[in-house]
């Protein structure tokens, strides 16, 4: 992906996540734009390390500007980026079935890491409250990932084609 497209997507995630994403709640959950954009950018990147760094930096800035707890989300975005790199070595992530599975799994991983970090920082809620919202979070992220797939991956030439 071109650097300008990457910057525009990350800026969109930075500004739309705390503002517009909350306007379309489903069962108390809203889509995680930065998680989905991180997955798409890492999958499309030839060299994923700088992309993961930019996504983590965006997450740090987002937490400093808009969040009550600073720290757990950048760690979660870093781990999401690493899992996308490892999954890309074993699966054809350009295929929508594998991408949907990775998105659903990473949504659960992200929420778990976020919960652990926030509990360590003093959040007063339990893991069952986090699990209760997972179907709604996964549904939102799968719809968003389907849109991103159609925009960025559907017509792109596969990495493994000659």
Tens-place pLDDT, residues 42-81: 988 889 999 999 999 999 999 999 887 778 899 999 999 9
| Cα 91 from Cα 111, distance rounded (Å) | 23
- Residue 84 lies in domain: 3-153
DSSP state of 153: I
Averaged pLDDT, 78-87:
94
Considering only CA atoms, which of 82, 76, 58 is closest in space to residue 117? 76
Considering only CA atoms, which of 141, 70, 62 is closest in space to residue 109? 141
Whether 86 maps to a domain, the answer reads yes
Percent of the chain with pLDDT over 70: 95
Whether 160 maps to a domain, the answer reads no
Whether 158 maps to a domain, the answer reads no
How far, in whole angstroms, is CA 22 from its chain's centroid?
16
Whether 47 maps to a domain, the answer reads yes
Lowest model confidence (mean pLDDT) among 28-32, 52-56, 113-117: 28-32
Count of structural domains within the chain: 1
């Amino acid at each position: 992906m071109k650097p300008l497209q990457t910057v525009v997507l990350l800026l969109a995630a930075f500004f739309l996540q705390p503002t517009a994403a909350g306007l379309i709640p489903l069962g108390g959950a809203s889509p995680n734009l930065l998680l989905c954009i991180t997955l798409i950018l890492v999958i499309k990147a030839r060299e994923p390390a700088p992309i993961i760094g930019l996504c983590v930096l965006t997450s740090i800035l987002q937490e400093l500007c808009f969040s009550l707890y600073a720290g757990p989300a950048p760690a979660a975005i870093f781990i999401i980026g690493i899992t996308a790199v490892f999954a890309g070595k074993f699966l054809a992530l350009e295929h929508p079935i594998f991408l949907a599975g990775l998105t659903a799994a990473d949504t659960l991983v992200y929420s778990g890491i976020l919960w652990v970090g926030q509990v360590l920082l003093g959040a007063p809620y339990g893991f069952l409250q986090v699990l209760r919202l997972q179907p709604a979070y996964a549904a939102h992220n799968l719809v968003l990932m389907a849109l991103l797939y159609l925009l960025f991956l559907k017509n792109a030439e596969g990495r493994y084609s000659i």
